[in-house]
Structure 1
């Protein structure tokens, strides 16, 4: 419900830019929380070596996109 309201307000052409920015941040934070919950549930011991390598690459790309990657 909250997502639908946020989407309707954020996509409206009559909404000011600052409202759209707030809506975008709310949705981004919601996605980040959901992703963190999903990543915690993954048991790395049950993955094959190929799956584990792909999983770690995905996590690294996500962290870089979020600005939380390792900076050398």
Structure 2
């Protein structure tokens, strides 16, 4: 899954749970912050693939289970 797909799936999960989701770009680079309610994680490049370890770490920071994104 790439960064854009992660954002789409997180938006769907946020709608199901009535939690706000937003993405804020930071500076000139490709990094940005994805917010899930009050929690956030740094997203590298939205166009590149996200590795399994990074995906688990971002989900942990956001307080969600990675399996919830598959549904």
Higher normalized strand content (fraction of residues): 2
Instruction: Indicate the structure (1 or 2) with the bigger Cα radius of gyration.
Output: 1
TM-score, structure 1 as length reference = 0.28
TM-score, structure 2 as length reference = 0.28
Higher relative contact order (CA 8 A, sep 6+): 2
Higher normalized helix content (fraction of residues): 1
